[in-house]
Structure 1
Amino acid sequence: MYSRRIKYVFKKIRDANLKYHLIANGDTVAVGMSGGKDSLTLLYFLTLLKKYTPLNFAIKPVYIDLGFGNDISPLEKFCQELKLPLCVEPTNIGKIVFEMRKEKNPCSLCANLRRGALNRVAKIHGCNKVALGHHLDDAVTTLFMSMLYERRYHLFKPKTYLDRMDITVIRPLIYVEEKDIKLICEQLGIMPVQNLCPASGQTKRQEIKELVEMIEQNFPGAKANILASIENVDQDSFWFA
């Protein structure tokens, strides 16, 4: 028997899949595994989606090794328990970002290189889709970052086709709040991989994330309402010259 929270999150993922047609019969889905709570939760629920819905699709977890020396044994064990072989792709992305380029704001470059490596490996393994662990909080935080730092309205979509790679990126956790992911990891005893990135916890994204949490504390339900407003855009309200 699954807990009420697991059933609740499963419904959120199923709703997102039904609305945005994220996964279809015959898909082969590469799941980007950082080893963090988000990607681990995503992988777990994709196995449930495959088990408890009529969808017939393949799941291939992929870990892009950035070269920081992370101990990924918890991730390997988790994949073994789900009976899914983990594909590990070694890279020198960490060295490029921190030693060769010496980026002051390394996260953007690192993310781009990591996504490129993930998409490339996904294509090599015959995948037509790549699933990422971005959740509701990530969407709201990204929107705030674009407005406060970039002076524009911009954020990722639940489903994006990359024509150059001929691959579709999906985000099945888009309706799931981070607090529910944390509670499910605690409930299931899911152990994340320790993040050894030198920039961990020192980013602009973390600052905006804390701002969003402060808003949520003062206005309960604010994050869900902001996400709903993203889906309910009145284009006539935008200012176009």
Structure 2
Amino acid sequence: MKLQQLMSYTRRAIDDYNMIQDGDRIAIGISGGKDSLTLLYALHGLQRYYLKKFDLEAITVDLGHPDFDVSGIHSLCETMRVPYTVVKTEIARIVFDERNEKNPCSLCAKMRKGALNDTIKKLGCNKIAYAHHKDDIVETMMMSLIYEGHFYSFPPVTHLDRTDLTVIRPLMYVSEADVKGFCNKYQLPVVKSPCPADGYTKRQYVKDLLRKLNQENPGVKERMFSAIVNGNIPDWTPKIR
């Protein structure tokens, strides 16, 4: 996928759900993975010509894993002239050593979001862009069905009352396959996740299940995505166009 196509998908999502207004200061949480770096490229590309003017702040929460090298991300942000902040934490030590969590993902995510949101507020941002793509939305719906018994997935726009931040998901129309293709084509400085729990989660199980379903029933993931978008799910605001 080329940059122009990525920006087209991203702009469509932003326009469909009114994600950005003039004067927004938008934080991007950069994990080092392919999704967040692709989102950085997409919003930086749109920033140059989008009618509504907005600023960007890139932020990485360093969980404290050894050998977590973000020098490539530093260089990319410098080239783009996007301010980049790395938040040092000891979340990995707390979760894996002190607490020895058997299911560490929930606690880690909660602590990581807390550190991220605190930094976002200090930097004066009013919005945060999450790098959830189309596959993430379908996987979340499947997890909700399998483990909670109801039809739900996270909405394109969410206002967080406690922090007074608005979450936007501009990559919602981009497939994971296109993200991978974009990363390979533009040689993004992806940092491999050092987390020992990576790849052993319920989400990974659902991802593998959906892959098999789509192989046996071509197009099923697209149909599921359409069902979500058109399913009148609570918290999902209607498209504005």
The answer, yes or no, to whether TM exceeds 0.5 is yes
Residue by residue over 1:7-56, the C-alpha shift from the partner in whole angstroms, topping out at 9 and shown as x without a partner, is: 22222111110111111110000100001000000000001111132120
Paired position in structure 1 for 2:150: 152
SS of the aligned residue for 1:102 comes to coil
Letter of the 1:24 counterpart: Q
SS of the equivalent of 1:63 reads strand
Mean Cα displacement is larger for which, 70-79 or 176-185?
Answer: 70-79
How far has the Cα of 1:100 moved from its partner?
2.2
Q: Which residue does the alignment assign to 2:141? A: 143
Corresponding residue of 2:223: 225
Structure 1: tracts of 5 or more residues without a match:
236-241
Deviation at 1:216, TM superposition (A): 2.0
1:66 CA displacement: 0.5
Alignment RMSD (CA, Å): 1.5
Whole-angstrom distance in 2 between the partners of 1:112 and 1:141: 20
Query: Partner amino acid for 1:181?
Result: V
* 1:17 matches 2:5: no
* Paired residue type of 2:11: R
Per-residue deviation, 1:115? 1.4
Q: Distance in 2 between matches of 1:152 and 1:93?
A: 32
Report the TM-score, using the length of structure 2 for normalisation.
0.92
Distance 1:111 1:234, change over 3 A: closer
Aligned match for 1:71, one of 45, 69, 72:
69
Segment drifting more, 148-157 vs 29-38? 148-157
- Where in structure 2 are the equivalents of 1:79-94 lying within 5 Å? 79-94=77-92
Aligned to 2:189: 191
In the other structure, the counterpart of 2:108 is 110
State the distance in 2 between where 1:108 and 1:156 align.
Answer: 16
Secondary structure of the 1:201 match is coil
In structure 2, do the counterparts of structure 1 residues 123 and 95 end up closer, same or farther at CA, with 3 Å as the change threshold?
Answer: same
Query: Greater shift after overlay, 149-158 or 70-79?
Result: 149-158
Q: How many residues align?
A: 232
Of 36, 39, 46 in structure 1, the residue corresponding to residue 36 of structure 2 is 39
Matched residues, percent identical?
A: 44
> In 2, distance between residues paired with 1:182 and 1:93?
28
- Tell whether the 8 Å contact from 1:32 to 1:130 is kept in structure 2 after alignment: yes
Change (3 A) 1:166 1:146: same
Counterpart-to-counterpart distance in 2, 1:211 and 1:59? 36
Q: Which whole-Å CA distance do the structure 2 matches of 1:118 and 1:55 have between them? A: 25
SS in 2 for 1:169: strand
Which secondary structure state, in structure 1, belongs to the residue aligned with residue 163 of structure 2? coil
Q: Is 1:28 matched with 2:28?
A: no
Q: Give the distance between the partners of 1:25 and 1:224, measured in 2 at CA.
A: 32
SS at match of 1:60: strand
2:165 counterpart residue number: 167
CA pair 217-6 structure 1, distance change in 2 beyond 3 A:
farther
For each residue in 1:188-220, what CA deviation from the matched residue of structure 2 results, as whole angstroms up to 9, or x when unmatched? 111201211111111111111111112222233
Contact 1:5–1:180 (Cα < 8 Å) also in 2: no
CA contact 1:65–1:88 (8 Å) conserved in 2? yes
In the aligned structure 2, how far is the partner of 1:221 from the partner of 1:10? 24
Equivalent of 2:59 in 55, 62, 71:
62
CA–CA distance in structure 1, aligned partners of residues 94 and 158 of structure 2:
27
